[in-house]
Structure 1
Amino acid sequence: MASPVPAIRRLSDGTLAALPAGVAVPAYDRASTSIGIVHFGPGAFHRAHQAVYIDDLLAGDPDWAICAVSLHSAGVRDALRPQDGLYTLALLGERERLRVVGSIREVLCAPQEREAVLARLADPGVRLVTLTITEKGYCLSADGVDLAHPDIAADLASPRTPGSAIGWLVEGLRLRRGRGVAPYTVLSCDNLADNGGRLRRAVLQYARQLDAGLAGWIEAEVAFPRSMVDSITPASDDALRERVSARLGVDDAWPVQREPYTQWVVEDDFRNGRPPLERAGVVLSADIAGYDRAKLRLLNAPHSTLAYLGSLLELDTVAEAMREPCLAAFVERLMREDIVPSLPTLDGFDPEAYVEAILERFRNPAIRHLLAQIAWDGSQKLPVRLLGTIAEALDAGRPIARLCVPVAGWMCFVRRQATRGIALVDPLADALARLGRACSGDPVRDVEAFLRLDSVFGALSGEPRFVHALRAAYARLGDALPGAVAAALADEGGVQ
């Protein structure tokens, strides 16, 4: 008679105590916590980011555990419910570290468990609703909500059975108002400029379609703080699952992974209490836009610089690019000498420490961040990542020669891809391909052709100082082959 196949042991409250000593586990009694947060969109980023911050503060304030709600798929619920909401976070560095996160106490799938979701939203113990649903999930228009969006139209026709995030938020608030329960604060954690303001406008517009009195109550009583989040979170894959389960000695159906660095900045605008976020390292600030600008200029602009110049050097990843001495030195000088002076003073923000942290992130060999992917959509990214800084530097009388090098690098990248017949990923792909094929390497003619892209360069195309500096940078890159690019980057005298 064959021996029975042993049951697979899963990560759970019952197996926590048996985990290896090197694995960090919740530093509190999970059973003593209560749910104070409903989160819509418990994908990898939320579980690697906000849920970890909450995990850090539950030992001192157990009233803020999370009910995680998926708006569409049951995958997260089906993976985590048998694990009592537990999952593993792998921190990717020189040496991978594992941590079991316990802040999610309940996992629901909204289409299949509507009453349970509504009960949580109406629960007086829930005082905060957070979201990571990507920009697309908000169904936004330019100044509110897209009333013609199929999900919004369906919710307006049947508001008691919502499907969209906006519909769920408003229905939960309607229930609380009707029962005399104080509203929850609504906190968007998506990378969306003015995320709280835009979500507030969308919620109010939607609510006005249903009930002017409810909309007035929301406008007067509900807070929608802005926020900024940052941490590179690669997708979970089978290799991660196998690696984590082998180290744990039990199976984890859906671990997540991220770089060690993480940042969360939140506007301190809460109406019905809030978690002690500052105890977990969250920065509370009234100037979210300032932090957004710092991230855009000190993280995203150097990323684009590495993408275009690193690609011309025939490199594949950010970490590889940072091992190229001439490129690493160039990027560091660009950040410290050209970008930092463009930033406003922010309370609690140390630009030099931020630069050091970003450079360390760029060098992390465990994060395989492809330059080719960062190079996508250059026509949309360059205006906000680099050209705004250049315009401000011109107005302030600061030098722009070094800032023009990555812009010229983008032009050379476009030229190279077009002549090699490699498709560009860009909204202007067809126009850029034609432009790139027509380039001859002449700095006057080629730069003049690129500057005709009004949607990219705008008024800068008519600024003589910019045109001169851009031509000079383009000329220094020459044939844009690795030798010429390396020489241009090493020529510090040429980029002063």
Structure 2
Amino acid sequence: MNDVPRLSARTLARARQDVEQPGYDRARVTPGIVHLGIGNFHRAHQAVYVDDCLAADPGWGIVGASLRRPDMRDALAPQDGLYTLAVRDGDTTRARIIGSLCEVVYSDKGTAELLTRMCDPAIRIVSLTVTEKGYCRSPATGDLDTAHAGIRADLAAPGTPSTVPGLLAEAFRARRAAGVAPFTVLSCDNLPSNGRTVRRVVAQFAAAREEALAAFIESEVAFPETMVDRIVPATTDDDRAEIAALTGLEDAWPVITEPFSQWVIEDAFSADRPDFAAAGAQMVADVAPFETMKLRMLNGAHSALAYFGQLAGHETVSDAMGDPALARFVAALWDEVMPTLAMGRNELTGYCDALTARFLNPALRHRTAQIAMDGSQKVPQRLLATIADRRGRGLAHTALTRAVGAWIAYVGHAGGKVDDPMADRFTDLAASVLPDMAGFARQMVREKAVFGALAEDIAFADAVAEAVVMLDRKGVSAALAP
């Protein structure tokens, strides 16, 4: 693509005429938000809502923080933070240039530069998409994982933190010492009660440092609940080539997404905020019903499709959902989930219809392997919480149990060597038990860090083991046959 100019502030005017561009003067934009864990989802979701707010108030630009790798900084710095949002629907792709990102911060020398940005009085919101594992919490209890190597290191040297709880606690300590009001912490990750969850781990970290700091965080800092929803697959080289042809500009890291986008936010902030409602977000008093619906129906089905899809050789969600056996299974899964939710049956049925259409969208190419990552962190809230609800009501949970079995079969077929924070533990279990898949399943269910109280339930372990053996012996289609 050497003959195509690179996207930047200087070349923006050379974009094709049908490409939407920022509707505000970027020279007037100043940072008001620091975002931890900048990746494709944030750039396709929250950064777009912020982009829609900047014409009315340019003081809400975003400083993105890349916490683990320099890739995003290296891709976007030559582009002055500009990137392309490509919305795919069937055979149609619409391109838009997003300008809300002011800079991306990364340093292999530590987080001092990031902490400086977080302590700037102009920063009134710190938002996060760091995935479930980024909060260094126990999935089973929700408490801070004090055995986590990063947490131990941050408690030993709290002034040079590397973890999310350590960064937030140190930023609050420094702002408090300087007489600067605290920012709002806005988690946008798929965690149950994400605001309260993040408050809990940050306060627990702070308490291990200084009780007064923990008390300050508990009383003065807002942690609104949120629910986010948009399907955003990983970007490929084919995507980059398509975007260059579509826009007339080379983009090192465009982001691909679907037309649907939803952001539900508890309207409880420490200070002021952008007019998110004007940009299409839903500002509500209680996020919980929306969050639970999305976690259990969309995310639960996504994870199930990912694990069954990996076992059946389906590369993408649309391929998996196009498999009649898996489509029937997802419908059965939703039938089990719906009685655990607060919404009415008609509303939930409409939501299922919309999810089916989204899952079948072939243009997204959302890879099952990507969704299958970090199962130990996702399965508890996406599947096990629903199982616990149904068991408490005396209801069966056959489809949900099969979904858990698909995860364990996926881990077992990989010999435990999966992309997961608990991969070392899974590898040890596999080495000690396999090829006995039933035994492996029972050992996995005994992992309290994932299964909590269910780890003690022999009948549940037997049901999961049966599902795993069926998948191993018969394959996905036959195991899911009516």
Alignment pair present for 1:24 and 2:20: yes
Shift of 1:88: 1.1
Letter in 1 for 2:9: D
| Structure 1 match to 2:144 | 144
SS of 1:298's partner is helix
Alignment pair present for 1:404 and 2:403: no
SS of 1:200's partner is helix
| Structure 1 match to 2:350 | 353
Shift of 1:191: 2.7
Shift of 1:153: 3.0
Distance in 2, Cα, partners of 1:156 & 1:460: 38
Shift of 1:362: 1.1
- Alpha carbons 2:34, 2:126 under 8 Å: kept: yes
SS of 1:181's partner is coil
Change (3 A) 1:260 1:430: farther
Letter in 1 for 2:64: A
Alignment pair present for 1:367 and 2:361: no
Alignment pair present for 1:278 and 2:277: yes
- Alpha carbons 1:319, 1:362 under 8 Å: kept: yes
Shift of 1:231: 3.0
- Alpha carbons 2:133, 2:377 under 8 Å: kept: no
Change (3 A) 1:192 1:379: closer
Identify which range, 377-386 or 11-20, moves more after superposition. 377-386
Change (3 A) 1:175 1:247: same
Shift of 1:274: 1.7
Give runs of aligned pairs for residues 428-467 of structure 1, distance below 5 A: 429=430, 433-436=434-437, 462=459
Alignment pair present for 1:46 and 2:80: no
Shift of 1:7: 9.1
| Residues paired across the two proteins, number | 461
- Superimposed CA distance per residue, residues 123-171 of structure 1 (whole angstroms, 9 cap, x where no aligned partner): 3322111122334443446633638734653565361x44443443334
Larger Cα-atom Rg: 1
Distance in 2, Cα, partners of 1:476 & 1:11: 52
Alignment pair present for 1:99 and 2:96: yes
- Superimposed CA distance per residue, residues 5-26 of structure 1 (whole angstroms, 9 cap, x where no aligned partner): x997321222222211222221
SS of 2:89's partner is coil
Shift of 1:411: 5.7
- Alpha carbons 1:382, 1:407 under 8 Å: kept: no
Letter in 2 for 1:16: L
Distance in 1, Cα, partners of 2:64 & 2:272: 20
Distance in 2, Cα, partners of 1:244 & 1:260: 17
Alignment pair present for 1:264 and 2:260: no
TM-score (norm 2): 0.77
SS of 1:51's partner is helix
Letter in 2 for 1:343: L
| Structure 1 match to 2:232 | 233
SS of 2:11's partner is helix
Alignment pair present for 1:153 and 2:157: no
Shift of 1:96: 2.4
Shift of 1:314: 6.4
TM-score (norm 1): 0.75
- Superimposed CA distance per residue, residues 464-493 of structure 1 (whole angstroms, 9 cap, x where no aligned partner): xx98xx99x99999984677568x34xxxx
- Alpha carbons 2:316, 2:367 under 8 Å: kept: yes
- Alpha carbons 2:233, 2:367 under 8 Å: kept: no
- Alpha carbons 1:412, 1:480 under 8 Å: kept: no
Give runs of aligned pairs for residues 79-90 of structure 1, distance below 5 A: 79-90=75-86
- Superimposed CA distance per residue, residues 275-316 of structure 1 (whole angstroms, 9 cap, x where no aligned partner): 222222323344444333212321234345545666787655
Distance in 1, Cα, partners of 2:296 & 2:165: 31
Identity %: 43
| Structure 2 match to 1:255 | 254
Shift of 1:184: 0.9
Distance in 1, Cα, partners of 2:137 & 2:123: 26
Structure 1: stretches of 5+ with no match in the other structure? 1-5, 440-448, 490-496
RMSD: 4.4
Distance in 2, Cα, partners of 1:165 & 1:370: 27
- Superimposed CA distance per residue, residues 191-225 of structure 1 (whole angstroms, 9 cap, x where no aligned partner): 33343333323333444455554443333211122
Letter in 2 for 1:138: Y
Change (3 A) 1:77 1:313: closer
Letter in 2 for 1:284: M
| Structure 2 match to 1:494 | none
Shift of 1:185: 0.9
SS of 1:100's partner is strand
Shift of 1:112: 5.9
Distance in 2, Cα, partners of 1:333 & 1:166: 39
